[in-house]
Structure 1
Amino acid sequence: MTLLIIIVVLVAGGLVRNAISTGRNDSGATGPQPTFTFDSQPDGATVPAETGRNPLLTNPNATLVPARCAYSAWGTQVDVARKFFETAASCLEAAWKPLLGKANLPFQPPALNVSATTAGITTPCTGSTSNFAAFYCPANKTIYLPISQLQTDYFKDNWVVYLSVFAHEYGHHVQAMSGILRKANSERADVGPRSTVGLELSRRVELQANCFDGMYLSSSAGGGSLTNPQLTVARKDAYGRGDQAGDMRDHGTSENGGVWFETGLDENLAAQCNTFTASADAVG
């Protein structure tokens, strides 16, 4: 059975954090899995060429069309928050499913786990630890959203921040559906998850999810469901997350995180979110 590195996205203290777990590949298949080749770039970057040629990323016109989304009211009670994320999930599916279909890629919606806290939650990606926040687990295609970890005391009723966190995690699901995540995780396992190349791969994965997040918020704003002041809040938040001094350097700097989010928000083109063909500096 092939073991792959599963990327887990954690949000804590206003900064994105990461935990690494080992498990089966996200498709559930066993046996040897395909890998991809690194092309040496002039600037010294190591780019996974096959991943950069994924059908989702090669159509220069692939975009999420503007769409109205009737988000349910936000609230910190579990039932209220769950309804909010469920309505957002329906809109995210309506946005991404056609794009994947046009690229002849499969789609199935992720499962959602919305809880008050992390207590008592066991996942294939984190085991029984309670030290996690919002993350996507490709092993069971589930997005976990513990309300206690969303910093609601800081962000208050600025629900666009929680929507952005969710859209980022949904971006990882899109990566899983397209095969991007599986290939990146397979190569990361081969080279070592904490090696220089392994950490660069992690950053490319995370920064692309930032860009996909921005694409979705662009679509929602274009449909009249988000206001310009809300987008300003989301932009500011995007520049407040990322690797800090002493971190493992697996998510990218806050500056690069913000830049990739804004690329998705301003361009709304999947091809512009191709972090796997970007220079090393752009994913540092």
Structure 2
Amino acid sequence: MKTEKSGQVLRLVMVLVGILLLSRIANCHGSFRDSNASQPGTPAVTTSNLAMDPDDNQKNPLNHDIRLDPINCELPPISLDSPGQLQFVNATVTCLRGAWLRALRDAHAFKPSLTTTDQEVTVYTVDTTRKSCGENTTAPTDAPLYCGGRQKILWPSKYAEFQNLRGQRLHGDMLFSVMHEYGHHVQFMTGVQAQADRMFGLWNEESSLGQQIHRRIELQAQCLAGVAMAAAVQGGTVGREEAEDVVDAQQYVIEEPIHGSRAANLHWSRAGYDSGSAAACNTWAADPADVQ
């Protein structure tokens, strides 16, 4: 009888422990950081209003008023063969590197773990389909991309959007695309990418919440490209009319779940271009409706 009662007590304890564990798991998946809910004046970050942890968001210097000095660079003419594109992209990256590193250094915006080597980014052209960013495969007709954590810009040499353009429109679109990819490198250097990666550890990247994180990343890079484009106009690297045309053309991007709607791409590109400040690019504090 004593053994039977002991067994009943043990089973009861196990059931109670199980209920407690399930409750804790549900709370973890129900909000990004529960402790914020009880703090006056601090909005809770829930699954319906996903954003960066408010503390991390406020502390990240990239969300403050960082402005680039006028960008004045001599860029080579664009040739659509692979070497010609590589020459143009490398010259643009060198130009952007000087402007962004100077601004981020003055703002003390580098993440603490950043090394001098980490500040560099290398451009690789993709002429054949191959694994080029970890296990991910890139084809020559894909859009350009930044390989996070490896400080690489992958530049497919036969991307259709560029192949079908000529003259000023080709120059502007390619320039803005490089500015966008370098914007991802700025996210890496300032710790934004690392903060996003921590959120991907909580939610599957393919889920609706994971896709929202992707859109916040991409739309912030669009905005940072707008900031760089404004500085290029001020420095005479690109004319105002050409810059306005390419920024407005963001309303015609191909809509994808992880890149955002045409309206959102135009909104955030314009926000960076019109303000000239990284402070306008805080997609992490934006309402979900603004990052659709």
The interval holding the TM-score normalised by the smaller chain is: 0.7 to 0.9
Q: Gaps (5+ residues) in structure 2?
A: 1-31, 35-42
Shift of 1:214: 0.4
Secondary structure at the counterpart of residue 225 of structure 1:
coil
**Equivalence for 1:111:** 122
Match of 2:231 in 1: 219
Match of 1:33 in 2: none
How much identity, in percent, do the aligned residues show? 23
Q: CA RMSD in A?
A: 2.3
Structure number with larger C-alpha Rg: 2
Which residue of the partner structure matches residue 179 of structure 1? Answer: 191
Equivalent in the alignment of 2:57:
52
2:220 and 2:281 in contact (8 A); partners too: yes
- Higher relative helix content: 2
Question: Counterparts of 2:59 and 2:260 in 1: how far apart (Å)?
Answer: 22
Aligned residues: 242
Per-residue displacement from partner, 1:201-223 (whole Å, max 9, x unpaired)?
11110100000010111100110
Q: Rate the CA distance shift 1:281–1:257 in 2: closer, same or farther, 3 A.
A: same
**Residue 142 (structure 2) pairs with residue 142 (structure 1):** no
Structure 2 CA distance, aligned partners of 1:159 and 1:58? Answer: 29
- Displacement of 1:165 after TM fit? 0.8
Match of 2:290 in 1: 282
CA distance in 2, matches of 1:190, 1:124: 23
CA–CA separation in structure 2 for the residues paired with 1:43 and 1:110: 34
Give the TM-score taking structure 2 as reference length: 0.76
- 1-structure distance, mates of 2:107, 2:229: 21
- Superposition deviation, residue 150 in structure 1: 4.9
Distance 1:194 1:42, change over 3 A: closer
Which amino acid is the alignment partner of residue 270 of structure 1? A
SS in 2 for 1:140: coil
Residue matched to 1:260: 268
Q: Secondary structure at the match of 1:139?
A: coil
Choose 271-280 or 71-80, whichever is displaced more. 71-80
3-state secondary structure, aligned to 2:124: strand
Q: 1:132 aligns with which of 114, 117, 142?
A: 142
User: Per the alignment, in what secondary structure is the counterpart of residue 201 of structure 2?
Assistant: helix
Kindly indicate whether residue 103 of structure 2 is the aligned counterpart of residue 99 of structure 1.
Answer: yes
Contact 1:122 1:128 in 2 (8 A): yes
Q: Which has the higher contact order (CA 8 A, sep 6+)?
A: 1
**TM-score, length of structure 1 as denominator length:** 0.78
CA distance in 2, matches of 1:220, 1:100: 17
Residues 1:226 and 1:108: Cα distance change in structure 2 (over 3 Å): same
Q: CA deviation at 1:46?
A: 2.0
Residue 142 of structure 1: CA displacement? 0.3
Q: CA offsets per residue over residues 172-212 of structure 1, 9 Å max, x none?
A: 11101111012112212321112232111111101000000
Determine if contact 2:63/2:279 at 8 Å carries over to the other structure: yes
In structure 1, distance between residues paired with 2:201 and 2:160: 30
Kindly state the Cα deviation for residue 258 of structure 1 after the two structures are TM-superposed.
0.6
Q: Give the match's secondary structure for 1:190.
A: coil
Match runs of 1:1-284 below 5 Å? 37=33, 39-40=43-44, 44-48=48-52, 49-60=54-65, 62-104=66-108, 105=110, 106=114, 108-115=119-126, 117=127, 119-130=128-139, 132-157=142-167, 158-243=170-255, 247=256, 249-284=257-292
Aligned to 1:114, what secondary structure does the other structure show? strand
Deviations 1:115-173 (A, max 9, x none): 4x3x1432234534537331000132100111201523322232110111111111111
Matched-pair contact (CA < 8 Å) for 2:219–2:291: yes
CA distance in 1, matches of 2:143, 2:258: 16
